């Protein structure tokens, strides 16, 4: 609407940050992780009567929320003596991409080797980026977690084979993942909102982001609603709703979120409710965020925003809902903006006609 564009223009005319607001100098990649902005999504929230805020985790130096967990896991391994600061020391991880990218950056900064096992279903952009960062990438067939050839189990075995020359990151069950969000992301959100938060929602892969932030916010205010967002093919929606580990739907266009089990990071997390988000709504939101907010983000980020809108409508006008924008759409460009790929998923109807010109 014209009024929306006029509002955006008024914001633009206020200009960039003043010198007093510019962050201080940070030391290298490691010093730049965290302290990301919180973005108010005015146009997306316009029909909810609520304030929807999204933590811009795609602005981390490695491009995703997973920079936090990658750094925390490696720092703990070094401080505990499990990983030596040596050019022959290797960090090995099973990852759908973003944690591996974060680990590759951290390993470069610290002079360590990095080996990544990942499902061969992941986007070529992620694989190419990991290799460009110097990681050794070993794609393997995508099989369930209970299969011994699941990428996580293969990564663990390789680390065991190398002995004290390597560590397995174990992002799903290494609770340093959850702790870093409890120690950093949660406090950042609390400070940025001045404690004015009514609900926290996001999707989970490892469970670290959701659980860490939810735990911190609940300790600050037990009335804050913590609501898990779940894609098709995951068991967590029914687990929260009914206490059973049963999948809702079969698969999703999203990468790195959804789960077939309750990870150690998610165990004991305060979860008030869950929302199931279908792929057509996620894909539509990818284009809405680009067109209405100017934000070029991936499908998991879009799913989180759909969830935030749903939660806002559940709570009613006057509330503040916080979520995260996990990463950029650049890592999924060949899929999310491909007419052929979208058609192959039966989702062209989810892309409003005015966005068709953005497809290639």
Place of tokens 């067939």: 141
CA distance 246 to 260: 8
Task: Judge whether 220 counts as a catalytic residue.
Answer: no
CA distance 68 to 124: 23
Cβ-based burial of 300 (10 A; exposed 0-12, middle 13-18, buried ≥19): buried
Select from 9, 61, 54 the least CA-distant residue to 288: 54
How far is CA 45 from each of CA 139, 289, 295, rounded to the nearest angstrom? 39, 11, 14
Pairing assessment for the beta strands 38-40 and 273-276 based on DSSP bridges:
unpaired
Place of tokens 């979120």: 257
Catalytic residue among 66, 113, 156, 218: 66
Question: Cβ neighbours of residue 214 under 8 Å, at least 6 residues apart?
Answer: 200, 226, 269, 270, 271
The helix/strand/coil state of 112 is coil
Pairing assessment for the beta strands 38-40 and 51-56 based on DSSP bridges:
antiparallel
Pairing assessment for the beta strands 90-94 and 166-168 based on DSSP bridges:
parallel
Torsion of Cα atoms, 59 then 60 then 65 then 68, to 10°: -160
Q: What are the tokens at 333?
A: 């460009």
CA distance 215 to 217: 6
- Beta bridge partners, 324, equal 55
Question: Cβ neighbours of residue 173 under 8 Å, at least 6 residues apart?
Answer: 263, 264, 265
Instruction: Report whether 253 contacts 241 (CB < 8 A).
Output: no
Instruction: Determine phi and psi for 14, rounding to 5 degrees.
Output: -70, -20
| Radius of gyration for the chain, computed over Cα atoms and rounded to the nearest angstrom | 20
Active site residues: 66
């Amino acid at each position: 609407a014209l009024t929306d564009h006029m509002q955006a223009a008024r914001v633009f005319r206020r200009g960039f940050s003043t010198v007093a607001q510019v962050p201080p100098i940070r030391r290298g990649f490691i010093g730049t992780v965290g302290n990301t902005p919180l973005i108010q999504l005015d146009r997306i929230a316009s029909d909810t009567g609520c304030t929807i805020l999204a933590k811009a985790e795609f602005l981390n130096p490695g491009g995703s929320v997973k920079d936090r967990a990658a750094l925390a896991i490696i720092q703990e391994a070094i401080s505990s003596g499990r990983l030596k600061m040596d050019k022959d020391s290797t960090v090995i991880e099973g990852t759908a991409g973003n944690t591996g990218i974060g680990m590759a950056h951290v390993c470069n900064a610290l002079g360590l080797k990095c080996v990544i096992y990942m499902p061969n279903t992941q986007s070529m952009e992620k694989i190419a980026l990991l290799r460009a960062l110097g990681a050794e990438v070993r794609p393997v067939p995508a099989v369930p977690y209970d299969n011994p050839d699941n990428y996580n189990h293969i990564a663990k075995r390789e680390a065991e084979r190398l002995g004290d020359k390597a560590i397995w990151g174990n992002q799903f069950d290494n609770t340093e993942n959850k702790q870093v969000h409890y120690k950093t992301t949660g406090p950042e959100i609390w400070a940025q909102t001045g404690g004015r938060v009514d609900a926290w929602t996001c999707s989970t892969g490892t469970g670290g982001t959701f659980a860490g932030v939810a735990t911190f916010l609940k300790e600050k205010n037990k009335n804050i609603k913590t609501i898990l967002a779940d894609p098709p093919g995951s068991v967590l929606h029914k687990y929260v709703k009914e206490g059973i580990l049963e999948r809702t739907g079969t698969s999703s266009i999203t990468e790195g979120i959804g789960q077939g089990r309750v990870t150690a990071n998610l165990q004991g997390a305060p979860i008030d409710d869950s929302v199931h988000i279908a792929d057509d709504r996620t894909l539509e939101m990818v284009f809405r965020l680009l067109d209405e907010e100017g934000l070029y983000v991936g499908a998991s980020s879009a799913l989180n925003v759909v969830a935030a809108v749903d939660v806002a409508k559940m709570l009613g006008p006057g509330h503040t809902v916080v979520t995260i924008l996990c990463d950029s759409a650049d890592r999924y460009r060949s899929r999310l903006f491909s007419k052929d790929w979208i058609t192959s998923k039966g989702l062209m109807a989810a892309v409003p006609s005015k966005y068709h010109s953005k497809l290639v």
